[in-house]
Amino acid sequence: MKIGEYEQMMSYLTRPATKKETREDFAIGGGAVEGKDLGTREGFASPEARAYLETLEPGTTVNTYEIGNRFNTAPATVRGQVQRNFPDLRLQTKEEGAAKAKETRKAQYAEKTSDVPTVQSEVRGKGKEARTKGRDITGVKWPSEEIKNKYIEYIKDRYSDVKGRKGLTNKQLAEEFFGKSNTATVGTVERINKFLKKDLDLEFKKAPIDEVKAKRKRRLDITQGGKTFTGTDKIPFHHIMPIGGEVDLTTKDVAFINKKMNSELAPYNTKLNDIADAISNQLNSQAPGYLDRVDELNKNAEEIIESVKIRLPKKFQNYIGFNRLDPITDEYGTPIRMNVTRVGVDDSKSLAGKRGEAQKLETLTQKGLMDQIKNLKIKIPTSDLLELGSKLPGPFKLLKLKKGFEDGGIVSRQNLGRGYLAGGIRSLGKKYKDSTLEAILENPKIMAAEFGYSGLAEILRLLGLYSVGGHVKKNNDE
């Protein structure tokens, strides 16, 4: 050990003893200084805050945060002081505090100024629900009346005709009123438009029915070879993937769903059809920047698919999808083909199922499509099956006359009479007598002229009037 270190150690060990101090030696918290008793302050650092509390009437609600900010003391200190020394005062609850804070924020927000339109909203639900229920748009704060009137004029012009015919697009509105178009500004425009649509009661004009039919026919000519397929009123035939664009549709792109589900999905299908058409137009025109526009449209479609997951019940999901088109380019950046990615769809929900083979709809007939029903996992009422059966071509339309018929298998003569349809026709009673059906069935020549002799033979066999071999049994006899 060095001499200096030794001297330092010895100095410490031989230092004088110090007086042991106690709490009574200090003025804080009690005690006396120079013979004057200061009393007790119990840690309350602001005499002004205490004096303020003393002025309040019994039963007054105390906002600890407000008093703490006013007198520069901790809210917890104010709370403790009220609990110990002011039992007649009432402490504000958490719920009351949250409501007060909300009103304060709204007042502060109202005082802020901005040179662009601002969406006003409030949390939907209370308590824990507020974290999951989203927000409701309550209004729009405009920088000036001039900008407000100009925006409303643009939006009314858009709704003055059929959708898509007039007015600025959302992208153009974002550039006009926000100075730039990006995801954030376009999103704000969409929210403003949603509020104004409801607030001003705006609706697009309906396109003439002939125009709607022509548009649908043009789409179906491209995507499913001009073929049309139908379900029933209760069980509609539903396109999971858009009929717009130029991607061929298959049995993995369609399904039979209930009427309510089809109605709920329809608005989203309409938007996706328009986007698919827009992508097709961009690829065909190849105007400058068209690949960027295709990418933007793909993103818009994906946002719609995601919105379905938020806004609609879980059972509705995967019944709506979109074909994302991404260009495959050569070494010079020239597109040589398009890569198709299915977005949002679950093949197990489709007509073909997850493992079934995808058949192009243009290769099917209504009858061929109806043969797929037996593979469906959804339950279709017998009455709807009969209505679906009525859409079969040729003489098979007569199948709708018999309730409860089965497709194939052995038929009991006890239940049906002679053949598949005899019991059903007999049950028509007075409706059958003197009807066109009676005239046709009672005169084979008319039937032959109408359906051909092969059709006549098939009908007679179904009716049990002409036998080509037996699938009919009586009671339990084979």
Supply the pLDDT for residue 448: 55
Looking at residue 385, its pLDDT comes to 54
What pLDDT score was predicted for residue 373? Answer: 61
Q: Would you say residue 212 has pLDDT above 60?
A: yes
Q: Please state which of the ranges 64-78, 214-228, 388-402 shows the lowest mean pLDDT.
A: 388-402
Comparing CA positions, the residue from 207, 272, 219 lying closest to residue 246 is: 219
pLDDT score of 415? 38
The C-alpha atoms of residue 144 and residue 146 are separated, in whole angstroms, by 5
Looking at residue 287, what is its pLDDT?
A: 80
Give me the pLDDT at residue 408, please.
38
Specify the DSSP class assigned to residue 162: B
Residue 73 Cα distances to 30, 46, 62, 64, angstroms: 21, 7, 14, 10
Least confident piece of the model among 292-306, 352-366, 395-409: 395-409
Q: Please, which pLDDT band fits residue 145 given cuts at 50, 70 and 90?
A: very high
Tokens of 280: 């097709």
Q: Binning pLDDT at 50, 70 and 90, where does residue 175 land?
A: very high
What mean pLDDT do residues 202-226 have? 89
Residue in the structure block whose two tokens are 């198709």: 340
Q: Between vectors from CA 407 to CA 406 and to CA 409, what angle results, nearest 5°?
A: 80
Q: So what's the pLDDT on residue 439?
A: 59
pLDDT for 181 equals 86
Q: Give the Å distances, CA to CA, from 126 to 91, 138, 139, 366.
A: 22, 16, 20, 52
Q: What's the whole-model pTM score?
A: 0.48
Instruction: Give the amino acid at 35.
Output: G
Is pLDDT of 302 > 70? yes
The closest alpha carbon to 252, from 319, 301, 338, 303, belongs to 319
What distance lies between CA 176 and its chain's CA centroid?
29
Q: What's the confidence (pLDDT) of residue 192?
A: 93
pLDDT of residue 164: 79
List, as one string, the DSSP characters of 299-345: HHHHHHHHHHHHHS-GGGTTS--EEEEEEEE-TTS-EEEEEEEEES-
Per DSSP, the three-state class of 143 is coil
What DSSP designation does 205 have?
A: B
Percent of the chain whose pLDDT exceeds 70: 66
Task: Please give the average per-residue pLDDT across 152-158, as a whole number.
Answer: 93
Q: Which pLDDT value is given to residue 344?
A: 87
Identify the DSSP state of 137.
E
Residue 384 pLDDT greater than 80, yes or no: no
> Is the predicted pLDDT of residue 414 greater than 50, yes or no?
no
Return the pLDDT at 296. Answer: 86
Q: What's the chain's average pLDDT? A: 75
pLDDT of residue 177: 93
More confident: 377 or 348: 348
Over residues 252-275, the mean pLDDT reads: 88
Would you tell me how many other CB atoms lie within 10 Å of the CB of residue 191? Answer: 16
pLDDT band at 461; cut points 50, 70, 90: low
Buried b (16+ CB within 10 A) or exposed e, 89-99: beebeeeebee
Pick 368 or 133 by higher pLDDT: 368
Token pair of 157, please? 């012009």
The length of the chain in residues reads 478
155: three-class secondary structure by DSSP:
helix
Count CA within 13 A, CB hemisphere, residue 308.
27
pLDDT at position 416 over 80: no
Q: What is the C-alpha to C-alpha distance for residues 300 and 449, in angstroms, rounded to an integer?
A: 56
Does the pLDDT at position 196 exceed 90? yes
φ, ψ at 327 (rounded to 5°) = -70, 140
- Average pLDDT in the 30-40 region? 49
Confidence check: pLDDT of 44 > 50: yes
pLDDT of residue 199: 92
Exposed (0-12), middle (13-18) or buried (19+): which is 147, by Cβ within 10 Å? middle
Report the C-alpha gap between 470 and 179 in whole angstroms. Answer: 79
Q: What is the pLDDT of residue 272?
A: 93
Going by pLDDT thresholds of 50, 70 and 90, the confidence category of residue 397 is very low
Placement of tokens 């925006």 in the chain: 151
- Label residue 431 by pLDDT band (50, 70, 90): low
What is the average pLDDT across 298-307? Answer: 88
DSSP per residue over 206-267, as a string?
A: PPPHHHHHHHHHHHHHHHSTT------SSS-EEESS-SSSSPPPBTTSEEE--HHHHHHHHH
For position 147, what pLDDT does the model report? 93
HSE toward the beta carbon, residue 274, CA cutoff 13 A: 11
Higher local confidence (pLDDT), 389 or 286 = 286
Q: Is 356 helix (H, G, I), strand (E, B) or coil?
A: coil
Crossing angle of the two packed helices 170-178 and 183-199, in degrees rounded to 10: 100
Say if residue 174 is exposed, middle or buried (CB neighbours under 10 Å; 0-12, 13-18, 19+). Answer: buried
Radius of gyration of the chain (CA): 40
C-alpha pair distances (Å), 179 with each of 117, 152, 156, 184 = 12, 18, 21, 12
